[in-house]
Amino acid sequence: MKEKMLNDFQILTYEDPIVELGVTTAFNNANFKFDTEEGRNNLLKLKNDLQVKKICYLKQIHSDKIIIVNDDGMLNGQVEGDSLITSSVDTMIGVFTADCVPVLIWDSNKKVIAAVHSGWKGTFDSIVKKTIEVMIKDFNCESSSIKVFIGPHIRQCCYEVSEELIDKFNKNDLYSGMDINDGRFLSLEKCIEVQLKYLGINKDNVIKSDFCTLCEKNKKLHSYRKDGERSGRMFTYIYFK
C-alpha cells in the first residue's frame, strides 16, 4: 500500500486502474465516527477533497445485512446493515472500523463495487461471501474478475478471544478443519480468505494491508480494544475513477 496526504488526512491507498480506494488513519487524530459532529464534518470534507458526488454509509450493526445502493440512493447512517454494493459511477461507499475488518470488493468488468464491515459476528456469518454471491447473482459478476482488498484490522497476533468463540468458529461448517486460530488467537483475515477460496476467488486478486490496528508502530490507527469508548473510527472507501 501507498501513503498520501489529503489536506489534513493521511490515506493508505492501493493503485487500481478502475477504482479509487483508501483507508483513513488516525493521523492528526482524524476521527470518522459518523454519529459525532466531528465525524460527519470529516466525512463531508473527505467527500469534497476527493471530489465525489455522493457518499454512502450504513449504521453498522454487526450483521450479515447487505444493502444495494441505486443511482438515486443516498444513505447517511440511517439505514442499518454492514455491506454496501453499488454500480453507481458517482458514489463513494465505505465502512467504519476500529479493529473489525474492512473489506472492499470490485469487479472491473461489470463495474460493480462493494464495501463490507466484517467483525467477528459478520465473519462468522460469512458476510463477505454473501456479498460476493449477491454481486454474482444480481450484477452478473464473475469470480474470476473479482478483486478484494482486506484492510487494517486487529490481526491474529493481538486478537485473543474466548475459548467458546474459538470453538464456535471451529464448529462452523465453512471453517471446520481450517487453520484459522493459534490457541485463543483468532485470524479473521484467514476466515475471510476461506470464504473467498470457497467462491473461487483468485488468491492473486486478494490484496492485504498487513497492518494490525492494535500493535502497528509506524502508522497511527484507531483500535477499540486499545482505547475503548474513546476510540475514533477509520473510514475505508471505494469509488469509480
d(CA 152, CA 103): 9
What residue ranges of the chain have pLDDT lower than 50? Answer: none
pLDDT at 78: 87
pLDDT at 194: 98
pLDDT at 38: 96
DSSP characters for 10-23? EEEE---SSEEEEE
> To which residue does cell 454487526 refer?
62
Q: What's the CA dihedral at 78, 80, 82, 86 to 10 degrees?
A: -60
Tell me which fold the domain 2-155+205-240 belongs to: CNF1/YfiH-like putative cysteine hydrolases (3.60.140)
Indicate the pTM of the whole model: 0.97
pLDDT at 75: 75
pLDDT at 1: 86
pLDDT at 73: 65
pLDDT at 71: 74
Provide, for the chain, the percentages of residues in helix, strand and coil under a 3-state DSSP scheme, each rounded to the nearest 5. Answer: 30, 30, 40
Domain segments of the chain as ranges: 2-155+205-240
Which residue in 22, 7, 5, 16 sits closest to 209, CA to CA? 22
